[in-house]
Amino acid sequence: MEPYSDNNDGLLQARELLARSQRVAAFSGAGLSAESGLATFRDPDPDALWSRFDPTELASVDAFEANPERVIEWYNWRRSMLAGVRPNAAHRVLAAQSRMIQITQNVDNLLEQAGVAPKQVYHLHGSILHDICHNSACDYRELVQLENPSPLRDCPRCGARLRPAVVWFGENLPAKTWYRAQQLCAELDCLLVVGTSATVYPAAGLITLARQYGSSVIVVDPNAGEARYAADIYLAGAAGRILPPLLAGLDLASNP
Ligand code: APR
């Protein structure tokens, strides 16, 4: 795959592919929010979250049940990071494609802040902006104050503990959102993959699923990760640098 650079035609090929695609969706990961200042999970740099923290101690039901204070503190630290950042150019140009659905693994709301209608964003791994009740039989949910999130507390409805509304390792993805994401990816002409290591399943399986149903795949990422094996066109570079020229003047839709 010819990697993108300022002087090759990878970008032009990708623009032509998008322009002739009737049904396009974006599938994103932490790399989309990297230029806003939010750490990714697996980047080869010391700030990457899984370089600094052990996911088994912070992002699983066992971790929460073993030490709920530590888990809530860590997510409240991530919330304070999100409170201080804004969408970057990549979020903004994706938001300008108002008819295109955004399937994202990200738990931030930077796509919505950039102007994407909430119903156009499929959050496969939930939302760090909300707390839910840890008792699966209780549907209590509340918006969290990012600037001043509450410490560990109990559900006002049933008394069980409240926890971030994110999908932890080993948990199922939100059923309806996951079904709709699979259904959409089975009907695409082109899937635009932005900033994901494509190593966490089942979400990463959407790339293969889209290809199996005949979709082309464009990958935008400075590091050629797992997604490149499914890419028709791999554009090597930061989302904030590549997406503006890639999408300029196009009018993409997921359900024309
Ligand atoms: N533009 C585009 N891509 C970027 C940028 C950037 N500016 N900076 C980094 N990337 C790429 C990295 O090269 C990497 O391929 O973003 C990807 C980030 O990969 P991860 O850190 O693994 O994040 P992600 O793929 O979203 O992780 C998936 O893992 O821990 C779980 O639930 C968590 O949703 C997350 C899931």
Check residue 32 and give its pLDDT: 98
pLDDT digits (tens, 9 = 90+) for 123-163: 999 999 999 999 999 999 999 999 999 999 999 999 999 99
What is the chain's mean pLDDT, rounded?
95
How many angstroms does the Cα of residue 155 sit away from the middle of ligand 1?
A: 32
Q: Which amino acids are annotated catalytic?
A: 125
106-108-112 Cα angle (round to 5)? 105
User: Residue ranges of the domains in the chain?
Assistant: 1-38+86-125+173-256, 39-84+127-166
pLDDT band, residue 59 (cuts 50/70/90): very high
The CATH superfamily label for domain 1-38+86-125+173-256 reads: TPP-binding domain (3.40.50.1220)
The partner residues of 26 in beta bridges, in order of sequence, read: 102, 192
How many angstroms does the Cα of residue 255 sit away from the middle of ligand 1?
A: 27
Using alpha carbons, select from 92, 96, 99, 115 the residue that is nearest to residue 21.
99
- HSE-up (13 A, CA, CB side) for residue 13: 18
Ligand 1 pocket, residue 28 CB under 6 Å: no
Ligand 1 pocket, residue 189 CB under 6 Å: no
Out of 89-93, 126-130, 221-225, 249-253, pick the least confident: 221-225
Ligand 1 pocket, residue 15 CB under 6 Å: no
How many angstroms does the Cα of residue 233 sit away from the middle of ligand 1?
A: 18
| Residue linked to tokens 């999908």 | 167
Ligand 1, atom nearest to 49 Cα: 21
Whether pLDDT at 7 is above 60: no
Ligand 1 pocket, residue 76 CB under 6 Å: no
The three-class DSSP label of residue 194 is: strand
CB 15 within 8 A of CB 252: no
CA distance 255 to 250: 15
pLDDT digits (tens, 9 = 90+) for 232-248: 999 999 999 999 999 99
Ligand 1 pocket, residue 123 CB under 6 Å: no
Domain spanning 39-84+127-166 has what CATH number?
A: 3.30.1600.10
